[in-house]
Structure formats: structure tokens, C-alpha cells
């Protein structure tokens, strides 16, 4: 199956769907998510994993147009991940979500496997991309800086997890007394953001567990986008709409960005312009151009 590589538009909403549920796979495809993550790992009971390993490739083959993008979360590399990859690559997913990754060297090892599997199945070399869940062990958090020094050509995105890390640390929870993330998890989140940007990958924020609390989800999306995240994980179709809206520039931002670009265009050859009593320079222009590109990518 030969198909063009997707463009570099960030994926706003990444919806997890259990790979062994026909009903949830169907609902996921109707959710409006930018990407579905067909899960072979935590949302599938151990006894059902062989079933999911058969159902996911069938779903991929039945949906060749790939709107939304279709990714597969495999099991950890030392817990059946290679067998998962061998089973699904033949059906040409857009990418693999790799859990419990301790560092970029593990992704490079998986990349070598994918080289062979793509050759086996006649797929474009390097076409299957990777999203690393990069903070699920203590070692993984401490090694995040290595993503800036060790290029992984297939790496499309990094995200962080709020559940596996407390378990790995022996913590009783991930919140502080105020109900927000405790320091350790705020550090992991920030380090993941920095590592993703340094590696040229998309930084993806973690999930919100209460899928019924739309107000909290919208607030979390707004905060994440202010910090630099460009997408967020969803665990229920009801979360997709607010996430898609939350990671798209607002009308006010688009209007301001157009004015910035126009101000620089009207003054070619200079590095700063004045607008609304503010001095704007090249970083403001680049940010404005990013806002307009993002708006155009999502149908502006």
C-alpha cells in the first residue's frame, strides 16, 4: 500500500480507542478527532490482546483514506511490542505510539525493526512515524534531554503520562494539596515540552480523566496551548470537540497576527515595527506567521 506522507500540520486531538471493540472503533471514527490511537496496550485486557492484534489491522485496511490519521499504540518493546509492530505494519498505520520509552535509543531500535518491516511489506521507507510516551519511568524523565542530542528521524511527537509515572515511583498520587499536579509531574510535563521542541517534534499534552467536565478540559487546553503544547490526548469522543477548538487559534489571535504580518510587509528591510504602542521584532513576526499557518491548516 503506497500512500503519500501526511503533512506536518500538528494533530490537535489524539483519541484513544480500545483495539478490541468494534463499537468504540466505529464511534472513534465519527468523533472528529485528528488522529485515532488504536490501542493494543492498557485499554485491552490481557486475554483480549490477540483479538485486538487481529482487529486493528482489519480496521486499518478498511480505512485507507486516513481521515482521521490512524495510529496504533503497541505494547512496551520488551512486552510484545515487536510482535505488535509486525502484526500492524502490513496494514500501513500512520504511526506507532510507543509506551514506557526510556530514551531515544529505544526508538532507534524500533526504527531499525520498522525499516525491515516496511521493506517486507512494500511500504515507503520511513513512512511510519513514532509518538513516544516519554515520561512513564523515572529513567525516562531523567533522559528527556537526550532527544535533543539523538535524532530519531521517525519521531513525530512526544507526550507525557500522568498515571504510569506515579506507579513507577511508588507514589500514592500525582496531585498536590491544591488539586493540581505535584512538583514531580509538573517537572516531567515541562521537560517533555522542552524535549519535544528541541527534537523538532510535536509536544502533546496528557489526558484529562474526567471526560464529563468540559469546563476543566477547555481550561486545560487553553493553558497547554499558552505554554507551547500543540495537541492533547483524549480518552472519550466527547473530549474531541473542545480539544480541537482549544488548539486552534482564536479569531482575535488571527486578526492580530494578520496585522503583525501586514505591518512588517509595509516596512520591508527593518527588524522592528511599532503597533498599538508596542515594539514588535522578528520573534513576533514568526509567531504571527505560525498562527496564520495553523489557522489555514485547520480550515481558516
259 annotated ligand binder? no
At how many degrees (to 10) do helices 81-88 and 104-121 cross?
30
CA-wise closest residue to 194 among 151, 161, 227:
227
DSSP 250-262: -HHHHHHHHHHHH
Residue 105 neighbours by CB distance under 10 Å = 13
SS3 label, residue 158: strand
DSSP string covering 189-225, please?
HHHHHHHHHHTT-EEEE---S-TT-HHHHHHHHHHHH
Q: Is 73 annotated as a binding residue?
A: yes
Element (H, E) at 174: none
Q: Is 295 annotated as a binding residue?
A: no
Burial (Cβ within 10 Å: 0-12, 13-18, ≥19) of residue 139: exposed
Rg (CA), the chain: 20
Binding residues for Mg(2+): 136, 164
Binding residues for substrate: 73, 136
Binding residues: 73, 136, 164
Amino acid at each position: 500500500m503506497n500512500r503519500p506522507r501526511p503533512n506536518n500540520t500538528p494533530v490537535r486531538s489524539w483519541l484513544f480507542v480500545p483495539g478490541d471493540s468494534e463499537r468504540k472503533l466505529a464511534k472513534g471514527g465519527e468523533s472528529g478527532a485528528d488522529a485515532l490511537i488504536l490501542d493494543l496496550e492498557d485499554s485491552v485486557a490481557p486475554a483480549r490482546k490477540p483479538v485486538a492484534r487481529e482487529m486493528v489491522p482489519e480496521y486499518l485496511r478498511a480505512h485507507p483514506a486516513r481521515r482521521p490519521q490512524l495510529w496504533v499504540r503497541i505494547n512496551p518493546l520488551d512486552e510484545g511490542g515487536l510482535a505488535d509492530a509486525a502484526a500492524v505494519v502490513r496494514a500501513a498505520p500512520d504511526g506507532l505510539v510507543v509506551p514506557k520509552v526510556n530514551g531515544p535509543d529505544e526508538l532507534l531500535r524500533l526504527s531499525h525493526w520498522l525499516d525491515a518491516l516496511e521493506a517486507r511489506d512494500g511500504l515507503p521507507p520511513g513512512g511510519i512515524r513514532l509518538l513516544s510516551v516519554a515520561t512513564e519511568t523515572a529513567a525516562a524523565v531523567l533522559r528527556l534531554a537526550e532527544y535533543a542530542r539523538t535524532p530519531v528521524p521517525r519521531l513525530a511527537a512526544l507526550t507525557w503520562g500522568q498515571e504510569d509515572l506515579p506507579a513507577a515511583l511508588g507514589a500514592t498520587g500525582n496531585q498536590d494539596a491544591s488539586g493540581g499536579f505535584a512538583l514531580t509531574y509538573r517537572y516531567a510535563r515541562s521537560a517533555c515540552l522542552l524535549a519535544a521542541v528541541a527534537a523538532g517534534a510535536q509536544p502533546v499534552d496528557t489526558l484529562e480523566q474526567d471526560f464529563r467536565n468540559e469546563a476543566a478540559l477547555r481550561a486545560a487546553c487553553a493553558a497547554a496551548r499558552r505554554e507551547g503544547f500543540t495537541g492533547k490526548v483524549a480518552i472519550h469522543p466527547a473530549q474531541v470537540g473542545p480539544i480541537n477548538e482549544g488548539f486552534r487559534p482564536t479569531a482575535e489571535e488571527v486578526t492580530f497576527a494578520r496585522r503583525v504580518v501586514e505591518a512588517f510587509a509595509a516596512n520591508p528591510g527593518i527588524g522592528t515595527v511599532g503597533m498599538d504602542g508596542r515594539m514588535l521584532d522578528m520573534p513576533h513576526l514568526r509567531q504571527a506567521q505560525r498562527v496564520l499557518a495553523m489557522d489555514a491548516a485547520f480550515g481558516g
